[in-house]
Chain A
Amino acid sequence: MTTPVELSRPLTFRERHESKIRQWRLYAHMFGKSFSSMLGLGLVVLFLLLAALGPWLAPYPEDTVGAFNMANKLMGPSAGHWFGTDEMGSDILSRVIIGARTSLWIGLIITGVGAIIGVPLGIIAGYRGGWVRAVIMRITELFLAVPGLALALAIVAALGPGITNCVVALSLVWWPGYVRLVEAKTLSVKEELFVESARSIGAKTPWILWHHILPNCMSPIIVKMSMDMGMAILSAASLGFIGLGAQPPAPEWGAMISVARTYMPDWWWYSLFPGAAIFLTVLGFNLLGDGLRDILDPRSRDR
């Protein structure tokens, strides 16, 4: 870069943040160029809108809180009920829309708790090494040694079915993934010269963790959290489907399919639409995460 002329006047905001502005423009450019990333963003935005505005968008909001109308039960898709009705005569479209909010909460809590427990443990394990790392990683590996869904099933079975217990169980099996990710990343960042450089100027450990290690671990964490939003929603719906998660009259997608399954194959729309909602939501978060990885990955940044 050419050496700029020294200026006496104070710099404008634009001049001071020129580097950042270019970086964000580059991100936006790369993200916008990818069809699948934009599709993911679109799906996620749609899902968030449904979750935020659900009660106002749903055509029959009362159907989601236990109202029933047996005269209308199990009607196919029509102008009045786009997605048809269920065995209580409730509007499936309304229940799917309201279900978005439940799913959003489930996803946020599980991912959030997972990250809040996992990230600090991972950083400490990676940076401290020695017996601290050994203890943390042994416990983490133990949790990872049993497939998540099977372990969650066992925990829910112990706690009893229900949506709260389902979220608790999934949160308990979710954090080890973050520990492993962050530990591995910390191990490599720790070896960077700038960490040693910070030590050589007398920085304390918390300062190094906060200013140097964590910011350099953020990219994979963000990507994982984006993808995990989808996977957590999917897992909760799975438990709901088995009958151990949200309990039926609740407008939760997995639980809806669980009931709908008994009305197969003649009343196909009953299971089709909630399932499509799960699929599109999870797809959205995964595509978004994938797109974020593409732009945040340092290996693709040089271009």
Chain B
Amino acid sequence: MLTFAFRKVLTLVGTMIGIAALTFVITNVAPGDPARLVAGPNATEDMVTTIRTEYGLDKSLPEQFVVYMGDLVTGDLGQSIVTTRPVLEEVLRYAPATLELVFVAMALGIIVGVPMGMLSAVYKDGPIDHATRIFSISGVALPAFWFGIILQLTFAVDLGWLPVSGRLPLVTRPPETVTGLLLVDSLLAGRLDTFWTSLRHIILPAIVLSFPCLASILRVNRAEMIEVLQSDYIVAARAHGIASFRIVAIYALKNALLPTLAMIGLRFGWMLGSTVLVETVFDWPGIGLYAVSSALSSDFKPVIGVTLVIGFFFIVANTLVDLAYAWIDPRLRSA
């Protein structure tokens, strides 16, 4: 088990290096002279040359790559042109908001998705099953940005139940930063009213973000449950007189959970990617919104920085899923 974990961590490091290389390639496929891009349209030839030397753009590509990787290792993700501050600093400032949103959405997806998947597998081809099928496929098909707008119109503008956007109202002083997650920090600071406010703010974006994820967790869990319920060992358990509820909720679920876990890992990454949409719609001050606004103002370093960070979170999540797999499946543990 320990060597298994060790191998996984090694893979994690390897993949991270790979992603760094990938971002380097993307940076260099851009047409045009990067130095001129940085310098802006009104720069003189001299300024461009200075910038080229300053940024090390006059070196050969392999040399640039070595420098780039060296910078990454020391945590230097470059500077934002718009704010002229280090990208790493800004990303770290925005990341907790995104993680908070993703965690809440993921929890929502699992808590609703897994039981619904089980239900529709048990009552396969029944009305519940048909309803969840339409529901889940709709979930995957819904454009997140449009769904967000519709929810805003309905629940925030028309009904006025929930705030339209943002993380906290401007007038509210945020709680002291410990984890960066407002829901946790406000509880730690003992400020229930702030907790309540931030919860109200997170509901709509979390629903939008979790909907497709919930749908695919539901579908995978349903499909796996159906297959497991037909398997020989479930037939045997039935034949030995074990109660149906126990068969479904304990025996079959544990087996079906393995592929569902894989889907959860996959969807975690997908959610991180989708934050660029959801955060744009809800003005949620996370790394997604940061990446989008940077991309729109041709500020390239932050975009790459966010890509790296999102990749990192995703790989960590997948590594955790792999470890959970081994924890559940004895066959993997002994391998």
| A pairs with B | yes
Q: Which of B26, B30, B147, B306 has most chain A Cβ within 10 Å? A: B26
Interface flag for A155 (CB, 8 Å) = yes
Are A290's CB and B137's CB within 8 A?
yes
Across the interface, which residues of A come within 8 angstroms of B310, CB to CB?
146-147, 150
Interface flag for B143 (CB, 8 Å) = yes
A298 to chain B, nearest CB (A): 13
A147-B269, A148-B273, A242-B292 known; A154+B307 contact, CB < 8 A: yes
Q: What separation, in Å, do the CA atoms of A259 and B298 have in the docked complex? A: 20
Are B146's CB and A147's CB within 8 A?
no
Are A154's CB and B23's CB within 8 A?
yes
Are B149's CB and A275's CB within 8 A?
yes
Are B15's CB and A147's CB within 8 A?
no
Q: What separation, in Å, do the CA atoms of A202 and B291 have in the docked complex? A: 56
A80 to chain B, nearest CB (A): 24
Across the interface, which residues of A come within 8 angstroms of B30, CB to CB?
158-160
Are A145's CB and B143's CB within 8 A?
no
Chain B residues bordering chain A, tally (CB within 8 A): 56
Q: From B149, B296, B307, give the contact of A271 (CB < 8 A).
A: B149
- CB interface residues, B 63-105, toward A, < 8 Å: none
Are B295's CB and A157's CB within 8 A?
yes
Are B137's CB and A36's CB within 8 A?
yes
Are B146's CB and A146's CB within 8 A?
no
Are A156's CB and B295's CB within 8 A?
yes
Interface flag for B22 (CB, 8 Å) = yes
Q: From A153, A265, A282, give the contact of B291 (CB < 8 A).
A: A153
Q: Which of A154, A264, A282 has most chain B Cβ within 10 Å? A: A154
Are B153's CB and A264's CB within 8 A?
yes
Are B314's CB and A238's CB within 8 A?
no
Q: What separation, in Å, do the CA atoms of A257 and B296 have in the docked complex? A: 17
Q: What separation, in Å, do the CA atoms of A49 and B146 have in the docked complex? A: 24
Across the interface, which residues of B come within 8 angstroms of A272, CB to CB?
150
Q: What separation, in Å, do the CA atoms of A158 and B26 have in the docked complex? A: 7
Are A275's CB and B150's CB within 8 A?
yes
For B299-332 the 0/1 string (1 means CB < 8 A from A) is 0100110110011001100100000000000000
Q: What separation, in Å, do the CA atoms of A151 and B294 have in the docked complex? A: 15
Interface flag for A99 (CB, 8 Å) = no
B98 to chain A, nearest CB (A): 11
Q: From B15, B27, B292, give the contact of A158 (CB < 8 A).
A: B27
Across the interface, which residues of A come within 8 angstroms of B280, CB to CB?
241-242
Q: What separation, in Å, do the CA atoms of A271 and B130 have in the docked complex? A: 29
Are A264's CB and B273's CB within 8 A?
no
Interface flag for B53 (CB, 8 Å) = no
Interface flag for B170 (CB, 8 Å) = no
For A74-118 the 0/1 string (1 means CB < 8 A from B) is 000000000000000000000000000000000000000000000
Across the interface, which residues of B come within 8 angstroms of A20, CB to CB?
none
Interface flag for A286 (CB, 8 Å) = yes
Across the interface, which residues of A come within 8 angstroms of B145, CB to CB?
238, 241, 254, 257
B219 to chain A, nearest CB (A): 9
Across the interface, which residues of B come within 8 angstroms of A283, CB to CB?
137-138, 141
Across the interface, which residues of A come within 8 angstroms of B214, CB to CB?
none
Across the interface, which residues of B come within 8 angstroms of A192, CB to CB?
none
A265 to chain B, nearest CB (A): 4
Are A286's CB and B140's CB within 8 A?
yes
Q: What separation, in Å, do the CA atoms of A156 and B310 have in the docked complex? A: 17
Interface flag for A261 (CB, 8 Å) = yes
Q: What separation, in Å, do the CA atoms of A231 and B140 have in the docked complex? A: 9
Q: What separation, in Å, do the CA atoms of A287 and B215 have in the docked complex? A: 13
Interface flag for B1 (CB, 8 Å) = no
Across the interface, which residues of B come within 8 angstroms of A155, CB to CB?
26, 29
Segment of A123-131, A135-143, A206-214 engaged in the interface with chain B: A135-143
Q: From A149, A238, A265, give the contact of B143 (CB < 8 A).
A: A238
Interface flag for A244 (CB, 8 Å) = yes
Interface flag for A170 (CB, 8 Å) = no
A104 to chain B, nearest CB (A): 16
Interface flag for B277 (CB, 8 Å) = yes
Interface flag for B144 (CB, 8 Å) = yes
Are B273's CB and A158's CB within 8 A?
no
A179 to chain B, nearest CB (A): 15
B204 to chain A, nearest CB (A): 14
Interface flag for B41 (CB, 8 Å) = no
Interface flag for A122 (CB, 8 Å) = no
A147-B269, A159-B30, A238-B277 known; A141+B15 contact, CB < 8 A: yes
Q: From A35, A153, A234, A264, give the contact of B276 (CB < 8 A).
A: A153
Are A257's CB and B149's CB within 8 A?
yes
A257 to chain B, nearest CB (A): 6
A145-B314, A147-B273 known; A238+B130 contact, CB < 8 A: no
Across the interface, which residues of A come within 8 angstroms of B4, CB to CB?
none
Please name the 4 residue pairs, one residue from A and one from B, whose CB atoms are nearest each other, closest first: A147-B273, A275-B146, A149-B273, A282-B141
